[in-house]
């Protein structure tokens, strides 16, 4: 009998996903303690199981060396930065993963964040709670130039939504998508030119050695003082210290961050700024997205492959 371990806390406490997984596999160990599993604790939890469902748990070579019986890891969620895929190939462990299953959830958060910052919603809300009643003059999203850095599943989902607002849409990606760009009126361009022209910049990249601090202090300085920056992708893509100085100095109008280099974030000064909208990594936390990600993970227990180079690209 195949034994399955579910390390993810949120999957383990979701009644629908539990029931659907148990309809496929009868021998399942859930993380009912609700503990964050890592290192020795994660190895102990997964030991003796043939397949596993993981989310934010770090899967590296040292862990896999402890688990010779583990043959499949199904990813609950879309990010793969927590998984050493080269180690999985060396150890013969297969990966079940579906990209983009939470794309609409993230896209809607980006749209709502852009509107909130353009209309000064965070600052206005704080003022009302503090007893101040005044109207803050904002700007519409309609007609703005929006730059998408990373045009994978989420970037491609976001572009037509922005079309509905009459936005000019720019995109930067290491790959070229001429048919998609032509169909949705997207203008591909280099990252520096995009930063110079966009009123709203939104990041949709994985976190790896090529994207760490991709928005460095130098690149941030290219943005318009009236522009806003949104990161609902991965922490570590932006020089947050440089961004804070720009927000304080009026060289950047606002920032909406759902992810941070350190989570939870520790820079209280940054979080307290009236032109900052901070959320606790909720991009995929819509009920519909959670079900889609969970069902993709269940399917991944049976439909999977070795994560060879070029496979499992977002």
**Active site positions, annotated:** 234, 263, 281
Q: How far apart, in whole angstroms, are the C-alpha atoms of residue 13 and residue 107? A: 26
- Dist CA 14 CA 9 (whole Å): 9
Q: Which residues fall within 8 angstroms of residue 106, CB to CB, at 6 or more apart? A: 154, 157, 204, 232, 283, 284, 289
Q: Which of 141, 135, 195, 193 is nearest to 168 (CA)?
A: 141
Exposed, middle or buried: residue 237 (CB in 10 Å: 0-12, 13-18, 19+)?
buried
How many C-alpha atoms does 183 have within 13 Å on its Cβ side? 8
DSSP alpha helix (H) spans, 165-202: 178-184, 191-197
Beta bridge partners of 147: 170, 201
- If one counts every other C-beta atom within 10 angstroms of the C-beta of residue 287, the result is 10
Q: What angle do CA 122, 269, 119 make, to 5 degrees?
A: 15
Place of tokens 């195949």: 2
> CA angle 60-97-155, nearest 5°?
105
Helix H or strand E segment including 38? none
Contact predicate 64/287, CB 8 Å? no
Structure tokens belonging to residue 142: 């309609």
Per the listing, tokens 């353009």 go with 118
Question: Encoding tokens for residue 269?
Answer: 């000064």
């Amino acid at each position: 009998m195949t034994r399955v371990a579910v390390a993810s806390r949120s999957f383990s406490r979701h009644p629908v996903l539990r029931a659907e997984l148990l309809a496929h596999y009868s021998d399942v160990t859930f993380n009912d303690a609700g503990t964050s599993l890592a290192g020795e604790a994660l190895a102990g939890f997964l030991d003796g199981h043939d397949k596993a469902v993981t989310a934010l748990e770090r899967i590296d070579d040292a862990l896999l060396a402890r688990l010779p019986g583990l043959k499949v890891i199904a990813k609950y969620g879309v990010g793969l930065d927590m998984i050493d895929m080269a180690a999985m190939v060396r150890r013969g462990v297969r990966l079940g993963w579906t990209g983009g299953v939470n794309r609409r959830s993230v896209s809607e958060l980006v749209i709502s964040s852009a509107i909130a910052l353009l209309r000064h919603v965070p600052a206005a809300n704080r003022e009302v709670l503090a007893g101040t009643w005044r109207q803050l003059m904002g700007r519409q999203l309609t007609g703005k130039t929006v730059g998408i850095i990373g045009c994978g599943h989420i970037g491609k989902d976001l572009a037509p939504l922005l079309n509905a607002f009459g936005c000019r849409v720019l995109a930067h990606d290491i790959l070229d998508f001429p048919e998609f760009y032509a169909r949705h009126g997207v203008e591909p361009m280099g990252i520096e030119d995009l930063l110079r022209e966009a009123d709203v910049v939104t990041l949709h990249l994985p976190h790896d050695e090529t994207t760490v601090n991709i928005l460095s202090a130098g690149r941030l300085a290219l943005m318009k003082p009236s522009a806003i920056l949104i990161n609902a992708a991965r922490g570590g893509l932006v020089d947050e210290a440089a961004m804070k100085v720009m927000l304080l100095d009026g060289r950047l109008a606002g920032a909406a961050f759902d992810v941070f280099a350190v989570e939870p974030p520790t820079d209280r000064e940054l979080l307290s700024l009236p032109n900052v909208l901070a959320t606790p990594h909720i991009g995929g936390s819509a009920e519909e997205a959670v079900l889609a990600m969970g069902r993709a993970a269940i399917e991944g227990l049976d439909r999977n492959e070795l994560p060879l180079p070029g496979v499992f690209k977002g």
